[in-house]
Structure 1
Amino acid sequence: MRSLAAVFFVVLAAALAAGAASARFVDPPDADVPAGTHPAQIGRFAVLVYSMNRGSKLKYVSVSDSVVRRAHQGGVRYSMVVTAADGASGATAQYQVLVWGIPGTYQWMLLEFKKIN
């Protein structure tokens, strides 16, 4: 379990470093998700954590069917369908993903990542 936590923090540090060089996204006032969290960001996080943990070479493609469940054990649960491509063959597949996190913090966990097609 420690190695998964170490991978998580390395991924988080890399994501923060990459995000520091990019333009800041401004949330629309009527956003359906908590400020600073967007389905595409969470989908990329899920694919990256899964790939690093399993040694696979998946690449994020898109997110569909994103559902936000607010106020779950001090954080927010995000349930979504993520499309990812295999790095070697380029074949795409869809995955049911469940991520829990606290917006505005470094506390994020990938709870579920399973192939659905």
Structure 2
Amino acid sequence: MVESIELIKETMPNSFEEFQALGLAKDGIYKRLEFAIQCILDICSQIAHEQEMVSFGYKDLVNNLAENGIISSELKEKLFFLVDLREILIYNYDLMSDEIAFRNVPEYIEYIEAFLKEAPWRRDLIRTR
């Protein structure tokens, strides 16, 4: 996940025109973003599994973690957004606007880094069975 974020940061050009001209490399940025989000959701799923939480979808999973005090409500909102972004990247890729993505990639990265900073996988934040 961290490697994907670093690669995105290194690859992002300074202008939208350059971003649009990246071609296949631009698709790689999107794929790395999708991968980083999936890593977050896999970590959340593992935490929920360890806590014997039952979830019916990723938003339900994130909500359960917030309700149980494992992640903050602020992080919950960011993860809700990332779940929606993941869905677009996987299932509705044609809806991605390169212009919006270029403008918002720093915000997407900030949301992922917020997850890393909050460190919900720390054992002292997780109730034990």
> Does the pair score TM above 0.5?
no
Query: Which fold has the larger relative contact order, with Cα–Cα distance below 8 Å and residues 6 or more apart in sequence?
Result: 2
Tell me which protein shows more strand as a share of its residues: 1
